[in-house]
Amino acid sequence: MNSSPAVQSAPDTHQDLHGGALDAAYKAAQVHAPAATLHRGADGTWALAGAWTVNGLGTLADTDTATAVGSEAASPPPRVLDGSAMVSMDSAGAWVLQHLLQSHQGHHPEHGEKREQREQGQPTRPQLLGWPARAEALMQALLQALESDSGRTLAQPPQHGFLHRSGQQAVAGAQQALAFLGFVGEVGMALAGALRHPQRLRWRVVLREVQIGGFQALPIVGLTSFLLGVVVAYQGAEQLRNYGANVFVVELVGYAMLREFAPLITAIIIAGRSGSAYAAQIGTMVVTEEIDALRTLGVSPQERLVLPKLLALALALPLLTVFADLTGVLGGMVMARSQLDISFVEFTSRFGRVMQGSAFLIGIGKALVFAFIIALIGCFQGFRTHGSADSVGRQTTLSVVQAIFLVIVVDAVFSVAFNLLDL
């Protein structure tokens, strides 16, 4: 009762394919459809044959060819479209045919001539002769759509120039920096509130975050730092041997690892590991409206989500750095013994004598600052997600890139500051 007459009477050969044989289904999907052809008669009759479908169109679908075929000859504009030999037609076929018709009637809708012509009297719509009912309905619908001008293609808006884009990016960057400051302020407020009422903080969640972000990161942090210690000692050994200053490898490895490399490599690994996880988790919560739900329930997402992560990382990252110190120096020791013949005993006793506690404390202090940077950037980028899965990915990437970049910038600032302070 809902079908138009077209549906009921369709002698559509599509239906042969319905028949069910498996290879028929397979063929239908492959390019075995009979090729679509078009014969333009001198009397204005266009004879269509074959399958005017995505599979049968072949070169006819090539827009360039279509215009060429259309414009080449001076044959009269089509008055009759004979579809009696046509096997089937789908929307792609209908669209290509109307392209051919248009180029042959010498007007393109893009040039506005169509409108003039319409005012002078509609160019006669060609008569459809012997078409399969379904195809005819489709073609009529298409021609109708075009006449009402709704089938117009909008062009993609033009790309802006370099200046425009760099200006936009500069503004966006400044806005983001401001928003980050605002975010840091909000988290600060939440932290102050939590310090006043520590019982409101969910310590169980904090501990779980420590386990995920800290304890479970021990193997990768330890291994990376060990290898870094090996590399530092190996590179130093080459140079020190030249001067017979083998034993100074202890200072080299000690200061390099404790002050610089251990906190830095730990921060970089954790930025990639936990910072990205924070951004992705909060970003997904934004997409699924969980953050909005928290807000409407009167729960501050800063307190509920950001603080536990911040505190957990502030605890875990310095501890991880201690572990990285240990394995890094161990790596240096191993290398010193194999390359410079300095025994473990010699190494450790000299290490105890020459190293100052400040080097260790500076490294740990830096790790604490890095922890704040990583947690804040990760959460901040998570909250900046809007809308879609795509956005979650983008913000996660941004969180890692920005966190690592900021960690290195801050590390450089520390180096200069400590130098000035003679530390």
Partner 1 sequence: MEDNASPVIELQQVCTRFGSHRVHEGLDLSVRRGEILGLAGGSGSGKSVLLREMILLQRPTSGRIRIFGVDVATLDAAQALALRRRWGVMFQGGGLFSSLTVRQNVGLPLREHTSLADALIDEIADWKLALTGLPPEAALKLPGELSGGMLKRAALARALSLDPELLFLDEPTSGLDPASSAGVDELILRTHSLFGSTIVIVSHDLDLLWQVTDRVAVLGEGRVIALDTMEALAQHEHATVRAYFNDRRGAPTRGTRAPA
What pairing do the DSSP bridges indicate for beta strands 37-40 and 80-89?
unpaired
Of residues 16-35, those binding partner 1 (CB under 8 A): 17-22, 25-26, 28-30
Helix and strand counts by DSSP (H, E) for the chain: 19, 4
* Residue nearer to partner 1 on the CB measure, 110 or 166: 110
Shortest distance in whole angstroms from residue 155 CB to partner 1: 9
φ/ψ bin of 145: left (φ > 0), alpha (ψ from -120 to 50), beta (otherwise): alpha
Taking the complex as a whole, the smallest distance from the CB of residue 297 to partner 1 amounts, in Å, to: 22
How far is residue 17's CA from residue 23's CA, in Å, rounded to a whole number?
A: 10
Stretch near partner 1 under the rule CB under 8 A, chosen from 48-56, 171-179, 225-233, 307-315: 48-56
**Cα→Cα distances 222→218, 227, 239, 262, Å:** 6, 9, 26, 10
Residue 153: DSSP 8-state: P
Nearer to partner 1, 95 or 226 (CB): 95
Nearer to partner 1, 256 or 398 (CB): 398
DSSP per-residue codes, 271-291:
IIIIIHHHHHHHHHHHHTTHH
Nearer to partner 1, 148 or 296 (CB): 148
Residue placing its CB nearer to partner 1 in the complex, 150 or 419: 150
Which is closer to partner 1, CB of 150 or CB of 199?
A: 150
Among 10, 47, 329, 376, binds partner 1 (CB under 8 A): 10
Query: Least separation, in Å, of the C-beta of 17 and partner 1?
Result: 8
Residues in region 214-253 near partner 1 by CB under 8 A: none
Q: Is 288 in the site for partner 1 (CB under 8 A)?
A: no
Query: What is the chain's Cα-based Rg?
Result: 36
| Shortest Å distance, C-beta 359 to partner 1 | 48
- Residue 335: closest CA among 261, 237, 265: 237
**Binding to partner 1 in span 52-91, by CB under 8 A:** 53-55, 57, 61-63, 90-91
Candidates 95, 347, 360, 380; binder of partner 1 (CB under 8 A) is 95
Contact 70, 31 (CB under 8 A): no
Q: Hey, which residues between 137 and 176 contact partner 1 (CB under 8 A)?
A: 137-138, 141-142, 145, 150-154, 156-157
Let me know if 229 is exposed, middle or buried by CB neighbors in 10 A (0-12, 13-18, 19+).
Answer: buried
Residue 134 touching partner 1 (CB under 8 A): yes
Binding-site size, partner 1 (CB under 8 A): 54
Measured CA distances, 185 to 17, 174, 274 (Å):
66, 17, 22
Nearer to partner 1, 74 or 154 (CB): 154
Nearest 5 degrees, angle CA 137-CA 143-CA 147? 140
Cα separation, 124 vs 375, in Å, equals 69
Per-residue contact flags (x/-) with partner 1 for residues 384 to 403, judged by CB under 8 A: --xxxxxx------------
Residue 21 C-beta: closest distance to partner 1, Å: 8
Closest approach, Cβ 56 to partner 1, in A, equals: 11
Q: Tokens at residue 72, please?
A: 């080449």
Tokens of residue 393, six digits: 């990915």
Q: Which of residues 357-386 bind partner 1 (CB under 8 A)?
A: 386
Minimum distance, C-beta of residue 260 to partner 1, in the bound complex (Å)? 40
CA count, 13 A, side-chain hemisphere, 40: 15
Of 35, 66, 33, 63, the closest CA to residue 48 belongs to 35
Q: How far is the CB of 284 from partner 1 (least distance, A)?
A: 13
Residues of this chain that bind partner 1 (CB under 8 A): 1-4, 6-8, 10, 12, 14-15, 17-22, 25-26, 28-30, 53-55, 57, 61-63, 90-92, 95-96, 99, 134, 137-138, 141-142, 145, 150-154, 156-157, 386-391
